[in-house]
Structure 1
């Protein structure tokens, strides 16, 4: 049996703006498939200044975006170098980085993840694999989600893989194809209203649980056109800013009640997707939202026949970093790492730039 080990660092920065996730990972390929081990892993929080810049970037012009990209690449290089030095990691096969999404309008052929400039490799003195979304958009895809190839190769024991981050997204097998799509916003909205109360996030969903439904708001949220659109489909912060927040803003309600209502909305949309599939099986939940007890309990009530599995902390927090490490290794091997059945691209392909 031929076994091949890869020593990689996977990096992910999500739309919830909680920071940069870094994970040192061993990926092993042997007859029968892939396995993994997450070693050191951490989230490096953004400074208040960087959170402000990243939030404001959606309205930047081309020159401002270029400067932001250059500055962020330097910031990311510093974060990576400190991670490598702190944990004394050597003999690295590749650093595989998603970057941070600023613009995502695949219908217009536009997606921008900053931090993917070629000089990143020079600044960290490592092989870098990055910028995974652009090629898919050029091939007519949504450029998202990219995680489902990892769900198929690393988490095949689960019927459904659900990530609860800035947005919720799900993947599953259907007629021999991996299907995946974004379901709805989660922490991009929940964190915003927790911030209004002086908290970085709603710990365990306690604030939401203390609230009550806002009459009419849940019905309007559930009626948004995106939820009835066919997949493949994906979401960016533009949807939150242009559609969700103006809708919520029509209602005079406390932050507690908005958090309660939106949490019910998230659980309802996820449950609707799984009920439509009508396939019994376990549901793996990862991402920061896995710690939102009120959300998880609400979802379980809506899906009494589904076994919800919440894994260990490293897998919850760093699954996306893990899978971007895998995407990088697959790219180095010249193997498919993006599925057209998921993104809507004209074909499966091996995506990512190697520096």
Structure 2
């Protein structure tokens, strides 16, 4: 990898975003960086190296990146230049976002009017973990809408109630930086904001926000709406109980519109080369059925083999 050393060259930087990372240096060096690298501060840096930018998730359009080391020196300027650029982003139009689905080359920055905001809720992710989530609906000047999901600490840090209250009588214009485009089942597209995501809301010193504001009517045609985001705990409270025999009588084509999900939850599993043994008591042979809006999820509390599951539908011996 080609790199070049900066010796006595003066370098002034505005810290745009501080992204959490793991430092390979001494704990004292971590505290040193943590003290001086704060967002919005203009700093003077020496003894750094310049490298080619990484291939994935680049926060800005630049072929190079700075790498710090144990000899890097950082000092904050006492008199910050008033004309020093404070923001760095490359706004992507909404219609162009879809082509970036699944692309990890760079982060995406967008501007839009906040149309709706949800509460925070702990939801179950595709990996099976629980994470905090908040949903935001953004609209552009052409009437296009995109959904943004904030995850983890970013979901909690976003001032949803404040945005909702302001949005009852005023426009709420926001720039979100450091997002990525996701797609589920090739039809549901949304922006995702994790640790690298930041936002600027109604910042009048940002020209792009001022231009967006002036393009809208003085009085909003609609207020910011609330989105009700259900948590995993709320969903679990509404689970209904049924037996295998009752499950047998359910016609998925009629009641579930052909959409049936079977999920096996095992408290403990005994597995060998030949089979998976039953480890729960006779009382645990019940099935929990939860009626969703578009499908029903049957949560099986007993780890059994596919053969045993099939026999459960044909024999009262397994389901009594």
Give TM-score, length-normalised by structure 1: 0.21
Greater per-residue strand proportion:
2
More contact order relative to length (CA 8 Å, sep ≥ 6)? 1
Q: Which has the larger radius of gyration?
A: 2
Greater per-residue helix proportion:
1
